[in-house]
Every structure is written in structure tokens, then in C-alpha cells.
Amino acid sequence: MPTQEPHPGRPQIAARVLLATALLALGIWTLWEFLPALVWAGIIAIAIGPAYRVLETRFPPGKHNLLLPSVFTALVALVFIAPLAFAGLRVAREWHIIVHILTDARQSGLPAPDWVPHLPWVGDQALAWWNEHLADKDSAAELLQRIDRVQLLGTSRAIGAGLARRAIQFGFSLMTLFFLLKDGDALAAQMRRASARALGPSGERLGEQVIASVHGTVNGLVLVGLAEGVLLGIIYAFAGVPHPAIFGAITAVAAMIPMGAPLVFGLAALILLGQGAQGAAIVVLASGMIVTFVADHFVRPVLIGGATKLPFLWVLFGILGGVATWGLLGLFLGPAVMAALIMLWREWTAEAEAPAEASPPAEVD
């Protein structure tokens, strides 16, 4: 008969816990630079999970086990790369115009545009400053010469290095996303077993709550933000805002952050006001306020709060605190962390109150 391994004593258990903690710390330290890429891949995998499962049921794993993850990974890459490529082409196309304007400013000065005096509240001051510093060629040359070329070169290099680092992280996110989609079922089963061993039944409920929070945040922030961008982009086009498609795309991105969209449609209204189109400016400003009010006070609380089972105040704190702590990644991590904490709090307080409710009050003779 095989000999049974003796039950580990306290020294062995302490040694195992210490070794596991040390290995976990070393693993996090080793992967620290890649953690954002891994977290982004997890968030994207959770967000596109329902659509992936629908196609996976129609094309069961087998010979399609590599095709479906590859197609979905390529589509995600296209969704992120296509707008950036479009913006880069637009900037490259407009760059020679900017260089031509700066050259003319150095040689003959730069007259104030017609819309500058019509700016609300600051039109006269803006026109006076422009005439003093840019209208005359000597003043314009002196102002432009104050720009430190060395500092500009250093800034451009820093921006280039940051973009290269983001591109590398995005590549690792795509690679991780492919393997998450390919082996997602096996990984989910392993995580369920691990959470059951570590936390009991609460572990699986906690994981489901985090996944639901990510789904609700994606729907409430990303999809609602895109809808705001589309609606306001159409309004920009009819109102005569220059480059309405670009303004709509910027509005969609800004609308994902609370109170971000008013900055964009407020700028569009100022541009129209400067061009003398007061009626169109009022339409853009009023439409933007109505769209964002409905989205922030009715649509998002239902989508995010319903999925996370959180009051919208805690959702708002999670989003703002997450952005302040983790940047753009905090848009999704913040509400997920708050949802997990609130769930643990509710379970802990419910278990603490259960004995007191179950025991009848003592009778007094």
C-alpha cells in the first residue's frame, strides 16, 4: 500500500506560505512593466467575451481554435489602430500649413483672424494682445524666437519614446488577448477552483461581480461615450463646426470621462461664436448639455450601477479615483475595485447580523 504523506505541521505551513508570498512578489516584480498590458488584455477579453462566445458556439473549437482568436484579435487591433492612423495622416497633411503660417509670421507678421474680436468676454483683450505680439513681424519673430528649440527637440523625443513604449505595450496586450481567447475556458476553470480553495463560495461570486462591473463600465462609459460622439458629431456637421468628424471623435473619447464632453462641445460653441454664428453656437451648446445630461443622469447610472449593484455616487468615485491613480486604465479598474469592496462589505455585515437576528430575545421573569 502506498504510504500517505503526513499532515504538514505548522512550521511546514508557515514555510509554504512564506515561499508562495516570496514567489508571488518576485513574479509581480518581474512582470511589473507588463502588468498594464496584461490588465488591458483582460479587460478587452471580458468586454468582447459575449460576442466571442456566440461565434464559438456556432464554430466549436477544433480546427477553428486558432482562427476565431486570430480574427477577434485582428479586429481589436483594427479598432484601435485605424483612428490613430487617420489622425496621424490628418496631422501630417496639415503640418505643412502650420509651417507655412509660422514662416509668414516671421517674415511679415500674422494678422488677427476675423473671429478673434467676436470672442465672448475676451474679444477686445485677445485682439489687443494679438496685434501687439503677432500682427507686427518684429514682435512675431521675437515671440517665436523665445521658443527653446532644444526644449522642443527634447519634448518631441520624449513624446516619441512614450509613443513607442505604448505601442510595445499594445503589442503585448494583443498577444495576451489572443491566448486569453484561445485558452479562456481552461483559465476560467482554474481561477474558479483557485478562488474556491482560497475564499470559498465567496470567491466565485467576487469574480462574477468584477466581470459584471467591467461589462457595465464598458457599456456605460465606452458605448455611451461613442453614442454621444456620434450624436454631437451630427449636430456639429449641421451647425457648421469645422472638421465635425474630428470634433465628434474627440467628443466620444472625452465623454468616456465624467465632465469631459462639455469641454469639447463648449470649444466648438466658442469657435462658432467667434465666426459670428451665434444661433448655431447656442444650438451646439444646448444640444451638448441635453445629451450629456441624459447620458450622465439616466443612461449611465442604469448601465453601470445596475451591473455593479452600486449607487452611482460610488461608481463616480471609483471612476474618478481610478483615473487619478491608474490613468485611463482606472476607468475600468476603479468601479471593479469598488464593486468588489462593497460586495465583501455587504457579505461581511450580513454574516455578522445573522446570529443576532436568529437568536430570540431572552425572557424576563
Q: What is the pLDDT of residues 2-48, one digit of tens each?
A: 555 556 667 787 888 888 889 888 988 988 888 888 888 998 898 88
Q: Cα separations (Å) of 5 from 2, 8, 16, 20?
A: 9, 8, 16, 20
Helix-helix angle 67-108:244-255, to 10 degrees = 120
The model's confidence at residue 115, banded by pLDDT at 50, 70 and 90, is: low
What cell was used for 237?
456637421
Q: What is the pLDDT of residues 270-324, one digit of tens each?
A: 888 877 788 888 999 999 999 999 988 888 877 777 766 777 778 778 888 888 8
What's the mean per-residue pLDDT of the chain? 79
What is the pLDDT at residue 365? 43
Q: What is the DSSP letter of 305?
A: I
Name, of 87-96, 174-183, 269-278, 331-340, the range with top average pLDDT.
174-183
**Three-state secondary structure call for residue 110:** coil
Q: What's phi and psi for 20, nearest 5 deg?
A: -65, -40
* Domain locations along the chain: 33-182, 200-349
| Intra-chain end-to-end CA distance of the chain, in Å | 64
What is the pLDDT at residue 74? 92
What is the rounded average pLDDT of the residues 97-102?
69
Q: What is the pLDDT of residues 182-234, one digit of tens each?
A: 888 888 888 888 878 877 777 778 888 888 888 888 888 888 888 999 999 99
Nearest Cα neighbor of 259 from 251, 270, 247 is 251
Model pTM greater than 0.75?
Answer: no
Output 114 or 20, whichever has higher pLDDT: 20
What is the pLDDT at residue 28? 87
Cα 241–247–253 angle (5° rounding)?
Answer: 155
The model's confidence at residue 356, banded by pLDDT at 50, 70 and 90, is: very low
- Are 231 and 249 within 8 A, CB to CB? no
Output 212 or 355, whichever has higher pLDDT: 212
What is the pLDDT at residue 317? 84
Residues in the chain: 365
- Give the lowest-confidence range in 83-87, 262-266, 312-316: 83-87
Helix-helix angle 35-58:201-217, to 10 degrees = 90
Q: DSSP letters of 116-161?
A: GGGSTTTHHHHHHHHIIIIISHHHHHHHHHTS-HHHHHHHHHHHHH
The span from the CA of 214 to the CA of 207, in Å, is 11
